């Protein structure tokens, strides 16, 4: 990874020359795909699979049961995302002989403000939610999952609104 990638993720304004410095494009692409799989599987586990799993059994159709299933399924989604991100990246680029295509993908991802916004919102939401969950004794993991999911959904709404305004 590079400091340019980190600065871009933090919202710093970089010139084109700095955006072009991608010293490790395979690592950067693997990181991007892994972050996206963590977000996807964590979101699905938290807002879809967890509540459905809780509703499937009579003994978990209450708030403690729902909270437990959301936490368990969301955590499973996070771990699945951590494992599947590098696997998916490897499957995609294993036959890629032209390293320029990988560099170009990383370069375009850096300029994709919608992608960067989703990543920023998921991190801010996750950290904020974990802090609130820990402070209210709801559980840092539960709060982090709900915060991350809320951040992803809020960023998706903002991105969709910005597209419609153009």
Q: What is the pLDDT of residues 131-156, one digit of tens each?
A: 999 999 999 999 999 999 999 999 99
40 and 14 in one domain? Answer: yes
103 and 118 in one domain? Answer: no
118 and 105 in one domain? Answer: no
Tally of structural domains, the chain: 2
**CA 134 – CA 103 distance, rounded (Å):** 40
| Per-residue pLDDT reduced to its tens digit, 53-83 | 999 999 999 999 999 999 999 999 999 999 9
Q: Give the pLDDT mean for 124-128.
A: 97
Domain range spanning residue 117? 112-166
53 and 105 in one domain? Answer: yes
- Give the predicted TM-score (pTM) of the model: 0.91
């Amino acid at each position: 990874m590079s400091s340019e990638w980190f600065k871009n993720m933090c919202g710093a304004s970089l010139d084109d020359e700095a955006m072009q410095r991608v010293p490790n494009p395979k690592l950067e692409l693997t990181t991007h795909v892994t972050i996206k799989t963590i977000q996807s599987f964590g979101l699905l586990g938290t807002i879809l699979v967890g509540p459905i799993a809780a509703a499937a059994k009579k003994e978990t159709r209450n708030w403690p049961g729902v909270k437990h299933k959301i936490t368990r399924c969301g955590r499973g989604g996070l771990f699945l995302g951590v494992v599947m991100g590098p696997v998916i990246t490897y499957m995609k680029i294993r036959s890629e002989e032209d390293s320029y295509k990988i560099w170009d993908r990383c370069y375009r991802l850096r300029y994709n403000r919608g992608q960067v916004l989703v990543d920023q919102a998921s991190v801010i939401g996750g950290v904020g939610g974990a802090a609130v969950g820990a402070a209210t004794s709801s559980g840092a993991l539960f709060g982090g999952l709900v915060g991350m999911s809320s951040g992803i959904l809020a960023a998706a709404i903002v991105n969709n609104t910005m597209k419609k305004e153009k």
